[in-house]
Homo-oligomer: A and B are copies of this chain.
């Protein structure tokens, strides 16, 4: 992950948010889950600075989109109890892969928070799409 790409990913997520009228925060983290860039749209709430980096970190830590973790941490799910302060298992976090299959590595992640879950997911995917074509 580098700063220039991280900034463009933030912009891509915010562009998607603006399209649907959402007010979001966007975080981009590196392979260690540490923040590389963050932007909060004017008017977005104060949960975003907590949740966007946490979703991005969670996606990197578990190498899976947080939207895919969400059903697994529900009551009865096999990862019930995982969700909490440490890992935020709500849609809007996506890992960024370098390579596919067994040789693939997670090199960072994006997290979005502030809109509805589906808006957050769409914003994160818009940012990830930029990564995939970069």
A residues at B contact (CB < 8 Å)? 2-3, 6-7, 21, 25, 30-43, 45-47, 49-50, 60-63, 70, 73-76, 78-91, 102, 105-106, 117
Known A-B contacts A81-B90, A82-B90; the reply to A45 vs B32 at CB < 8 A is no
Task: For A43, list chain B residues within 8 Å (CB).
Answer: 105
Task: For A60, list chain B residues within 8 Å (CB).
Answer: 45-46
Q: How many copies does the complex hold?
A: 4
Task: For A76, list chain B residues within 8 Å (CB).
Answer: 74
Task: For A102, list chain B residues within 8 Å (CB).
Answer: 21
Q: B73 and A80: CB pair below 8 A? A: yes
Smallest CB separation, A74 vs chain B (Å): 5
Smallest CB separation, A81 vs chain B (Å): 3
Of the residues B31, B70, B87, contact of A78 by C-beta under 8 Å: B70
Q: A88 and B82: CB pair below 8 A? A: yes
Q: A78 and B38: CB pair below 8 A? A: no
Residue of B nearest to A2 (CB): B42
Of the residues B32, B37, B86, contact of A30 by C-beta under 8 Å: B32
Q: B87 and A84: CB pair below 8 A? A: no
Smallest CB separation, A38 vs chain B (Å): 4
